[in-house]
Amino acid sequence: MTEPVTKSVDAAPKAGVQATRVGRPHASWALPGVLFFMFFAVAPMALAVYLSFTEWNGLGDPRFVGLDNWQNLVGDPRLTQSLTVTVLMTVVSWAFQTVIALLLGVWAAGKQRNRAILSAVFFVPFLLSSTAIALLFFALLDPNFGVIKGDTLGTTSGAFLAIIFVGGWQFIPFHTLIYQGGARQIPEVLYQAAAIDGAGRVRQFFSITLPQLRHTMAMSSVLMVVGSLTYFETVLILTQGGPGTDTAILPYLMYEAGFKSYDFGYASAVATFLVVAATGLSLLMVRITGFGSMRSVREGM
């Protein structure tokens, strides 16, 4: 075991030096990307921030009202409810998707042909549009003519779980793909060494696969969390925030304020709040998981 260690310790600094010497591409290469990003992300975002200080019904010119929308937002009981539902939905769908995607991904990383074929089949739901998927499940859940008879979408827990399930059904394939890639990166020698030491499958999974997938998990989790914060079509089509306002997550609250009540000022305040919350949360997650420092998982090997 000594030889590989010295080798990698030797190799690492060399590679680092080389990278600095060759240099990075000129900054102008980033220009198309930056322009695209400015135009489609930063500019609309700035507009939303501006609109959050105005009163606007979609017609004519916005009227500046100062902090009115923000004061309403802070005092709105629906924001508190919405925030609770959003957080709950994010946590539950993270747990649901991560467990299944991790197991499936590790399984799919095997080189057997049947696994390759089945992973291709599993990937199909991700290719469908969220709207089509939501409509499909809405029909399946119809209490009178659906496959699953019963008032699934009419009860608070039923509607909540249906949204989690439909979201999972769609996005698990994507995260499976990420985990599959991650699992294939794990050097075979680790398993060989573990086998020599007498570790069984389960032990190998918990002592090698899981720790090695740390960064994969961090990335997949950030994507899931940010994704569920912006989860919208499924809620719109399956429940319209219902029953009552029980599944009205933040993006839906924003949609309702904007496109049902035509209060675009208030909707923009919700949108700005969402941007700040989502950015803060993903920065926090990146810091906690140590993903930002990008240290190699093979450190000290």
Partner 1 sequence: MESYSRRWFLGVSGATMLTAGLTACGSSDSDSGKSGGQLTAFVWGDDAAKIQEDAVRKFNASSAAKKTGGTIKLQRIPGSDYPAKLRTAMGSPSAPDLFFNWGGGSIKAYVDADQLIDLHDIIESTPALKNGFLPSIIQSGALEGRPYGIPMRGMQPVLLFFNKKVFKDAGLEPPTSWTQLLDINKKFKSRGIQPFALGGADKWTELMWVSYLVDRIGGPEVFRKIQGGDASAWGDPAVLRAAEEIKSLVDDEAFGKGFSSVQYNNGGASTLLAKGKAAMHLMGSWEYPTQLGKFKDFAENDLGWVAFPAYDGGAGDIKNVVGNPTNYWSVSARTKNREAAIEFLKTCASEEYTKALIANGDIPTTANAGALLEDSPNPEFAKFQYELVQNAPAFTLSWDQAVKPDWSAPMLTEIDKLFLGQSSPKEFVTALKGLK
> Interface with partner 1 by CB under 8 A: which residues?
37, 40-41, 44-45, 48, 57-60, 141-145, 150-154, 222, 226-227, 229-230, 232, 240, 242-246, 251, 254-256, 258-263, 271, 274-275, 278-280, 282-283, 286-287, 292-294
55 has which bridge partners? Answer: 63
Nearer to partner 1, 57 or 185 (CB): 57
Nearer to partner 1, 41 or 195 (CB): 41
Vertex 64, ends 63 and 66: CA angle to 5°? 150
Residue 129: name the closest of 176, 171, 93, 178 by CA.
171
Nearer to partner 1, 202 or 294 (CB): 294
- To partner 1, the closest distance from the beta carbon of 186 in angstroms equals 23
Contacts of 94 (CB under 8 A, 6+ apart): 221, 224, 225, 228
Alpha-carbon distance of 82 to 73, in angstroms, equals 11
- To partner 1, the closest distance from the beta carbon of 13 in angstroms equals 17
Nearer to partner 1, 64 or 262 (CB): 262
158 phi, psi to nearest 5 deg: -60, -45
Nearer to partner 1, 50 or 246 (CB): 246
Rg (CA), the chain: 24
- To partner 1, the closest distance from the beta carbon of 119 in angstroms equals 25
- To partner 1, the closest distance from the beta carbon of 59 in angstroms equals 4
Residue 207: name the closest of 231, 227, 186 by CA.
186
Are 85 and 249 within 8 A, CB to CB? yes
- To partner 1, the closest distance from the beta carbon of 111 in angstroms equals 32
